[in-house]
């Protein structure tokens, strides 16, 4: 009687149904004339189906009421009157499956995306309420456990996110502290305003691009940064205001220098005026710079006056240089004429010709500096040669000098004769010391004799 058919009923159920029907008929005939046997049979049939419409997570009773089983016991989740209990359980299982899908999707998003802890926790709390109040049949306790486990993971991620935020804020504080420190250093040390101004703008952009630090720290740093920027702006304005005053002062000084230069432009007092222009240029460099436009105009005035003077001087010097070159050509010819007098055979005629050359030399005038030394030294060499020839001739024609030369030669010869005799005697005596002394004296006197005879030969000419 316990064998099952394909539709899930049994012979025992058929027997019970027949018995139940007979009892119902008996009750109707015995107790009430209006007893609805058919309705009673329907109730029994529903009970019988519910007996077999059981599930590990829920059931359907004979009235069509659907229950879900949890750790806390059974809970009614709905009523089903439109079909069999199996269909009822299938319907409420599908509702559970939809809820389980939400939980699975949340788990997946939490693992694979950067879902924030706050968003995840909000979704978990909503799903916990849905699970608690779910009108569905399934492992609701399992879903709740999964959500509670996910809550623990959310807490861990929240702590990680908190630590990451604190680390990021600390890094942001370091970055912005560096920006502020550099800005304050620029305020204290800046002298190149264009470069420093560009760097201050870059620091502002770096501040904007940097992550946010802790609110209190960022507020304090921003106050310092803002103060540094304002101080830089004030200092730069003060510098340029002072610079404008310096430029006006330089402009006034250079206008005065231009007037002085223009007054000297037509001077022909070449030496002193050139020196004056050098002094003006020195004063110009020391005067500082006027504004760019004023500086260009003033420099054009000053340079024009300077160029006018030096160009006039250069033109004059060029003409004078050409004249000096002509003088040099004349003196080149005179030098060649003088050099042709050497060697002089007729000193009287050579001296007369030299006086004529010297007179024409003086009349020829100045020559260029680069030729002066060469020409003058060439003429001096000719003059010195003639003078030396004249001295030699005079010595030869001087009787007193000739007598002195002859007397010197005779005296040295007499001395040599005496020394030769002393040398011979010393040799005979074997006096080597006396012999050596006499030999040395004799050699010296013979050298003197050779020199004296050459001098005498000059006089004998």
Which domain-ending residue is among 294, 313, 332?
A: 313
Domain assignment present for residue 16? The answer is yes
Domains in the chain, number: 4
Q: Is residue 181 domain-resident?
A: no
Instruction: Tell me what pLDDT residue 259 has.
Output: 92
Residue 70: what are its φ and ψ, rounded to 5°? -130, 180
Ranges of residues in the chain with a pLDDT under 50 are 1-13, 30-32, 44, 47-52
Position 139 in a domain? no
Final residue of a structural domain among 340, 370, 395: 395
**What is the domain range of residue 382?**
321-395
Instruction: Retrieve residue 147's tokens.
Output: 């959500």
- Please name the residues in contact with 24: beta carbons below 8 A apart, sequence gap of 6 or more: 35, 37, 40, 41, 44
The pLDDT assigned to 51 comes to 47
Sign of CA dihedral 236, 238, 239, 245: positive
- Which helix (H) or strand (E) is 60 found in, with range? strand 58-60
Q: Cα-atom radius of gyration of the chain, to the nearest Å?
A: 69
**HSE of 387, CA atoms in CB hemisphere, 13 A:** 7
Clarify whether residues 380 and 431 are in a common domain.
Answer: no
In a domain, 442, yes or no: yes
Question: Quick check: helix, strand or coil at residue 265?
Answer: coil
pLDDT at 386 (0 to 100): 83
What the block records as the tokens of 206 is: 């770096």
Note whether 424 and 447 are same-domain residues: yes
Average pLDDT across the chain, whole number? 81
Last residue within a domain, chosen from 361, 377, 395: 395
Residue 80 pLDDT: 86
β partners of residue 59: 54, 67
Does some domain include residue 175?
no
In this predicted structure, what is the pLDDT of residue 39?
A: 56
Question: Do 306 and 291 share a domain, yes or no?
Answer: yes
Asked if residue 195 is part of any domain, the answer here is: no
Instruction: Please provide residue 74's backbone torsions phi and psi, each rounded to the nearest 5 degrees.
Output: -80, 150
My answer on whether 430 and 388 are in the same domain is: no
437 lies in some domain: yes
Stated as kind and residue range, the H or E segment containing 70 is strand 65-70
Share of the chain above pLDDT 70, in %: 86
403 and 380: one domain?
Answer: no
Q: Would residue 73 count as lying in a domain?
A: yes
Whether residues 374 and 403 fall in one domain: no
Same domain assignment for residues 325 and 391: yes
Output the pTM of the full model: 0.36
Do residues 384 and 446 both lie within one domain? no
């Amino acid at each position: 009687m316990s064998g099952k058919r394909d539709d899930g009923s049994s012979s025992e159920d058929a027997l019970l149904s027949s018995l139940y029907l007979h009892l119902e008929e008996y009750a109707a005939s015995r107790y009430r004339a209006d007893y609805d046997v058919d309705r009673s049979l329907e109730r029994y049939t529903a009970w019988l189906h519910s007996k077999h419409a059981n599930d590990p997570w829920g059931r359907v009773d004979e009235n069509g009421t659907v229950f879900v089983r949890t750790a806390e016991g059974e809970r009614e989740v709905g009523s089903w009157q439109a079909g069999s209990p199996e269909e009822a359980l299938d319907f409420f299982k599908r509702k559970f499956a939809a809820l389980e899908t939400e939980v699975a999707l949340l788990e997946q998003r939490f693992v694979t995306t950067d879902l924030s802890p706050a968003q995840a926790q909000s979704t978990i709390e909503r799903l916990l309420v849905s699970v608690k109040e779910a009108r569905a049949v399934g492992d609701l306790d399992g879903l709740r456990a999964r959500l509670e486990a996910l809550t623990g993971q959310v807490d861990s991620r929240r702590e990680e996110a908190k630590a990451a935020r604190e680390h990021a804020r600390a890094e942001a504080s370091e970055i912005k502290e560096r920006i502020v420190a550099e800005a304050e250093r620029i305020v204290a040390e800046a002298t190149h305003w264009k470069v420093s101004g560009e760097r201050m703008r870059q620091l502002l952009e770096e501040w904007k691009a940097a992550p946010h630090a802790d609110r209190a720290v960022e507020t304090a740093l921003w106050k310092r940064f803002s103060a540094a920027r304002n101080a830089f702006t004030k200092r730069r304005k003060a510098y340029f205001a002072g610079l404008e005053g310096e430029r006006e002062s330089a402009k006034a000084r250079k206008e005065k220098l231009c007037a002085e230069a223009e007054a000297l432009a037509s001077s022909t007092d070449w030496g002193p005026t050139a020196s004056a222009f050098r002094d003006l240029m020195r004063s110009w460099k020391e005067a500082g710079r006027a504004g760019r436009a004023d500086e260009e105009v003033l420099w054009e005035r000053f340079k024009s006056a300077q160029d006018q003077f030096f160009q006039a001087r250069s033109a004059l010097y060029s003409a004078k240089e050409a004249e000096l070159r002509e003088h040099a050509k004349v003196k080149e010819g005179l030098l060649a004429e003088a050099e042709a007098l050497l060697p002089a055979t007729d000193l009287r005629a050579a001296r007369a010709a030299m006086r004529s050359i010297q007179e024409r030399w003086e009349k020829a005038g100045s020559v260029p500096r680069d030729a002066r030394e060469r020409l003058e030294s060439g003429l001096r060499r000719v003059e010195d040669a003639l003078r030396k020839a004249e001295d030699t001739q005079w010595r030869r024609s001087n009787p007193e000098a000739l007598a002195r030369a002859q007397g010197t030669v005779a005296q040295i010869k007499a001395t040599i004769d005496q020394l030769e005799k002393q040398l011979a005697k010393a040799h005979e005596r074997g006096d080597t010391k006396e012999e050596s002394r006499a030999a040395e004296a004799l050699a010296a006197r013979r050298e003197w004799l050779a020199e004296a005879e050459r001098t005498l030969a000059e006089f004998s000419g």
